[in-house]
Amino acid sequence: MFVKICGLSTTQDVEAAVRAGADAVGFVLTASPRRVSPEQARLLVAAVPEGVLTVAVFRDEPLDQVRRDAREAGVGAVQLHGDHPAPAFAELRDLGLTLVRATSAASAAGASCGDFGEDLLLLDSPVPGSGESWDWSALGEAPPSGRWMLAGGLAPANVAEAVALARPWGVDVSSGVEVRRGVKSPELIEEFLRQVRAADRG
C-alpha cells in the first residue's frame, strides 16, 4: 500500500519518513503551521532518496505561483487542494510532474482517479487538512476507482481500521504522526507505517 507522510519541515522528519518506508513525502507550500518556503522545500527534497516521491502541497494558489514554486522546490509532484477544475491540471501537465488532486470525500461520490486529469486522487475529511476523523465506511461501499489515497484523521491507532473499511490504494497522514501541531514524531511515523503494512498484509 502506498503511504505518504505529509507536512514535513525538517531533514529529521524526512529521514524518519524514509527510514520507516514511506513511498512519498509532502511539503506544504501554502498557509499552514507546517508551511515551508520553496527554498526550504528544495533543501528537504535534496535529502530524499530516489524512488520516494516528493510532493509540493498547494491550496487555491494561482497556477502561475504553483508552477513557479514547484519548479523552485524541485519536487516530483504537485498536490492541489480546493476547487480546481480539470483545465487546471491540464495547464500544469507540461511541468512533467505527478499531479495529485485533493478534495473532500463528501463531494467525491462516484469519483475516479483521473476524472480531472490527475495521476493520483486524495480524499480528505469534510474539513480538509483539519486532521479530524470521519466516517470512512461510506467509501468502502462504493470506493473510487484507480489510484486514490485516504486522508483525514488517520493515526497509528486507527489506520488499520480505516484501511479495512475504505479499501484505499494508499493513505496520507500529517497531524496523526505529530506530538504537537507541526512537530513530527519519528516513533509515530514508524508505528503508522508498521500498522499500514500489517493491515495491508491482512
When pLDDT is averaged across residues 87-103 and rounded to a whole number, the result is 96
Any bridge partners for residue 102, and if so which? 81, 122
d(CA 135, CA 195): 19
Provide the percentage of residues in the chain whose pLDDT is more than 70.
Answer: 93
CB under 8 Å, gap of 24 or more: what pairs does 38-43 form? Answer: 38/68, 38/69, 38/70, 38/72, 38/73, 39/72, 40/9, 41/72, 41/73, 41/74, 41/75, 42/72, 42/73, 42/74, 43/11
What's this model's pTM, rounded to 2 decimal places? Answer: 0.94
Range with the largest mean pLDDT of 48-52, 107-111, 142-146: 48-52
Report pLDDT for 142. Answer: 73
Is the pLDDT at 184 greater than 90, yes or no?
Answer: yes
Beta bridge partners, 150, equal: 123, 171
d(CA 32, CA 168): 26
Separation of CA 167 from chain center: 17
User: What span, in angstroms and rounded, lies between the C-alpha atoms of 136 and 133?
Assistant: 8
- Which pLDDT value is given to residue 201? 84
pLDDT in tens, 66-82: 999 999 999 999 999 98
% of the chain at pLDDT higher than 90: 77
Residue 148: what pLDDT? 94
Q: Decide if pLDDT at 113 tops 80.
A: yes
Predicted confidence at residue 200, as pLDDT, reads 85
